[in-house]
A and B are shown apart, each in its own frame.
Chain A
Amino acid sequence: AQTVTQSQPEMSVQEAETVTLSCTYDTSESDYYLFWYKQPPSRQMILVIRQEAYKQQNATENRFSVNFQKAAKSFSLKISDSQLGDAAMYFCAYRSGLYNQGGKLIFGQGTELSVKP
């Protein structure tokens, strides 16, 4: 069975600085996808970034980028130029590429990010 682990329950960053959130996963599959979701105090889940396992290039979305280390099964999220609006719970998630797995997401425990002005 696949698992996702986020070992940092809480992180803090100064406004305009850079912070990296860690995520490791375990799988025997070769076809899969990885995601970072953001959950602000409103509790609405918002997709931040996605990474296809077959792609070697790390995904980027504006100030958000990932460091995808497939052999190490590591998928960290880097937030540059942190803003007050980045304060939220961040979840790392795994999805199998196999159709018979139903497209379901397996989530880590989450990292609560606070941003100091």
Chain B
Amino acid sequence: DGGITQSPKYLFRKEGQNVTLSCEQNLNHDAMYWYRQDPGQGLRLIYYSQIVNDFQKGDIAEGYSVSREKKESFPLTVTSAQKNPTAFYLCASTLPGNEQFFGPGTRLTVL
């Protein structure tokens, strides 16, 4: 079945540690996105990529990094520079002009 997978479902990070969240899609979508969701707030865009080997910062990119080496994959690294990383992270993908499809999300908790 086509879809978007995110792993792990739950992730725990110690202070000062970098962690990487995985996002894979087999929908042959060109564009991929990372959003952060905090309680009581809507989703906010972290990074997005419209084509391989290219990506753009979103509204809250500080403390995060991404790569897009393959069309199917768009991993997100939460670095130690991100001061408040505890949140729910959602990955999405789309074809131009179409609606975004979302993965099941990763819950990141800082210990």
- Show the binding face of A for B, using Cβ within 8 Å: 4, 6, 9, 33, 35, 42-45, 47, 50, 91, 99, 102-110
Instruction: Say yes or no: A50-B99 contact (C-beta < 8 A), given A104-B45, A107-B43.
Output: yes
Binding site secondary structure of chain B: strand
Residue of A35, A42, A107 touching B42 (CB-CB under 8 A): A107
Residues of B near A99 (CB, < 8 A) are 96
Q: B14-22, B62-70, B73-81, B100-108: which lies at the A interface?
A: B100-108
Instruction: Say yes or no: A109-B42 contact (C-beta < 8 A), given A43-B105, A102-B48, A103-B31.
Output: yes
Residue of B44, B58, B102 touching A45 (CB-CB under 8 A): B102
Residue of A4, A43, A102, A103 touching B88 (CB-CB under 8 A): A43
Among all A-B residue pairs, the 9 with the closest Cβ atoms: A107-B42, A45-B102, A107-B43, A109-B42, A47-B99, A102-B48, A104-B45, A43-B105, A103-B31
Q: Which of A91, A103, A106 has the most CB of B within 10 A?
A: A103
